[in-house]
Amino acid sequence: MWLISMYVIEMLGYMIVALPIYAIVRMIIVKRRKRPVNKLHEVLLALFILYLVGLASQTIIPKWTMGIDVSTGKFFFDVYIFDRLSSVNMMPFRTIMSYFQANEYVSGWSSVSLVNLLGNMFVFSPIGFFIPLLWRRMDSFKAIFFIGFGVTCFIEGTQYFIGRSTDIDDIILNTIGVLIGYWVYLTWKVLTKREKIVDRK
């Protein structure tokens, strides 16, 4: 759980910084459009954008450090775009199968396996939930599938150039995660319709 907590804390840091910036930009856009404001839509849109910022922080934003050098007293800001541990896997299901096998890095069904397998799916689930909720024209399996597949391909392609591992299995797991999010959305839509019918009675 500590590994998951670390990722969540890192994502929240970026999201907190992005919140006031998004709020200012969105207010300017809304005022220029001069259209009626749907408060619920604005809240959901803000949550989705902040989620995307958090997702980007863990996928396509290069690792960086900053601070003051103790020995010199000078400020430093370093960006790392190369990693000797990064790898490329283009064979489907090779990495997924390794999550179920014990090796020198993973002792059985450890937390690392859970983070890599389940994390790769569920961290992308909000895409499948928020997109059809915010934009009705995207409410179809075909649209969500291609959006999920396209987003994950873009992320994996970008990771190749910023020193992170690129894996076709991540594309598979991420796309499945988006579809899981869409299934949750469809379930939610059915349940809310039932509630409305009950209310009418």
- The Cα–Cα gap between 49 and 134 comes to 11
Q: In DSSP terms, which residues pair with 77 in a beta bridge?
A: 66
pLDDT digits (tens, 9 = 90+) for 100-146: 775 555 554 455 677 788 888 999 999 999 999 999 999 999 999 99
Q: Shortest CA distance to 165 belongs to which of 120, 195, 128, 200?
A: 120
Judge whether 178 and 125 are in contact, CB under 8 Å: yes
CB 18 within 8 A of CB 57: no
pLDDT tens per residue, range 53-91: 999 999 998 877 877 887 888 887 777 776 666 788 899
Mode of pairing for the β-strands spanning 166-167 and 63-68: unpaired
Domain range summary for the chain, segments of one domain joined by +: 1-59, 63-200
Q: What are phi and psi of 163, to 5 degrees?
A: 80, 20
